[in-house]
Amino acid sequence: MASNAPVGKPTDMSSPRLPKVAGIDSTVPAPPQTVAPLPGVPSAAPPSDAALPPGVLIQDRLASWVSDLTTLHELTERLIKTDSLDGALREMLGAGAALVGARRGMAVLEPADGLGPTSTIGLGLAHADLGTIETVPRGSGSYGRLLDDLPEADPPGAGLPGNSPAAPRPPARVPEPIAIRDVRTEEGLDPRHREVAARLGYAASYALPLATEEAGRLGAAVWLYDEPAEPDERRRHLIGLYGRFATEHLARLLQVERARARVATVAEELLPSRLPRVPGVRLAVRHLTGPQGGGDWYDALPLPEGALGLAVGSVSGTGPSALAAMGRLRASLRAYAVMEGEDPVAVLSDLELLLRLTEPARSATALFAYAEPAQRRIVLAGAGHAPPLVVGDHRTEFVETSLSAPLGMLTCWEAPSVELSPAPGETVLLYTDGLLRRTGDATDRAFARLHAAAASVPRADRSDPGAVADHVLRTLLPGGLDPAVEGEDVVLLAARFE
């Protein structure tokens, strides 16, 4: 009979060892369960010698429990450091594989409320392998049975004003894990299930619901064994404890992910859905948002007599309040541009007065340009904003603008306008300060890097304003805009004059 051994510290050095996860050897030979476990505590196998003194038995069990708790603590500490749904699912899969003694597995994220996001990731399985597993009828696969076992979410709109109040929903029932000891002999399996198992080379599986009474159903995880097997009661207990903790962590990350998606959606809805088509000029824009959504914005609107108004700006702060202020400011600037767009200084003066009267605690930067594409003429004014950059075959240079304070910082804002005439084929880049600050460099260094990035645009790409903008962004931010890092938004508006 096997001797008692804690998880992570097998005493039989010749016993087969399963793969380690996260540097923690949490595997143990699977002893038969012959002693009823104590309530709420992982059980241990009885000693091989029934004549051992009771004190030795107790010490052995206590050592086993302490080892198990230490392993769970280390695994949950690693899990809680993950800050994305994908990262948490991968960490959970790897740790769970060690706890149940498996080598491969997959996790399916499919919240019961139907609001998403949904995803499927694998451990030791290629993308094609996951696709093959998904060809198994949902009712035959263990993870599919777990996903379909809980009641449906409340109907859309329940409990909202104008609808009958929804009755309090009882806590969701959490289904039991599903163990298939031998796919070849298990009763009730679809033939396709056995075919897929034979093709991928697994003989058994253990599926765990990612669900709790409080969080509801978020998904399921299934681990695959190369030989017929199933975890003993002790391993089931450990993976059950870890699975509940992982589910609560995933629920928190799901709320954050949905909040970020809502903020991004609101920000996009407050900006132009498409850029206008005006003869003589081609436009392209790139807008990258941070996790909380900033107040950076842009606009391009056709004006009378073939003119075009171009604007970029940034409102102080982040989150919903900054987004709302950005929407109000952009809408006001549009109105002022239609009325007096030929005078950019008057447009920004009106905007500054509005900001000071309606939102005295907030400041903003803005740049407005009145462009006449047919004459290739631009008149612009800026309030605390970075100067535009002209990119062409014969020059790459910043437009010389006068130094001015942001809107809302002085009792009365005023700054002279600047006029420039782009040559045929030149592109004018308007951008927000976030593009410079996201580089992490000092201001002078960031401006120098932006100039170098614009100057290095390949000649073949200079005829396309979108390609120019993409090259500048790739050069300045080679890793892209990390959505998990707090910081300002980035706006880059490119206008190429024919």
pLDDT tens sequence across 41-92 = 344 444 454 555 767 778 777 888 888 889 999 999 999 999 899 999 999 9
pLDDT confidence of residue 476: 94
| Contact criterion met (CB below 8 Å) for 314 and 488 | yes
User: Mapping DSSP to helix (H, G, I), strand (E, B) and coil, where does residue 326 land?
Assistant: helix
Tell me: the pLDDT tens digits for 353-385?
Answer: 888 888 888 889 999 999 999 999 999 999 989
Q: Could you tell me the two tokens for 153?
A: 């979410």
Question: pTM to 2 decimals?
Answer: 0.64
Pick the CATH number of 273-497 from 3.60.40.10, 3.40.50.2300, 3.90.1150.10, 3.40.50.1820: 3.60.40.10
Instruction: Tell me the C-alpha distance between 407 and 355, whole Å.
Output: 7
Q: What is the pLDDT of residue 482?
A: 62
Integer Cα distance of 418 and 428 in angstroms? 14
Report the chain (498 residues): mean pLDDT per 10 consecutive residues: 41 39 39 37 45 70 84 94 93 95 95 91 94 90 80 39 46 82 91 94 95 91 95 93 95 90 77 90 89 80 94 85 86 92 92 87 91 95 93 94 81 80 96 90 94 95 95 90 66 96
Cβ–Cβ < 8 Å for 22, 94: yes
| Class of CATH domain 54-150+170-262 | alpha beta
CB neighbour list of residue 472: distance below 8 Å, 6 or more residues apart? 429, 450, 453, 454, 457, 492
Which tokens hold the place of 258?
Answer: 């949905």
Can you give the pLDDT at residue 130? 94
Look at the block and give the residue holding tokens 């500054």.
Answer: 352
Domain residue spans of the chain: 54-150+170-262, 273-497
State the number of CA atoms in the 13 A half-sphere of 96 facing the CB: 34
pLDDT at residue 118, rounded to an integer: 92
Q: Under DSSP, is residue 419 helix (H, G, I), strand (E, B) or coil?
A: strand
- What pLDDT sits at residue 206? 96
Residue 487's pLDDT is 63
pLDDT value for 486: 60
CB 86 within 8 A of CB 25: no
Structure tokens at 225: 């064994």
pLDDT, residue 8, reads: 43
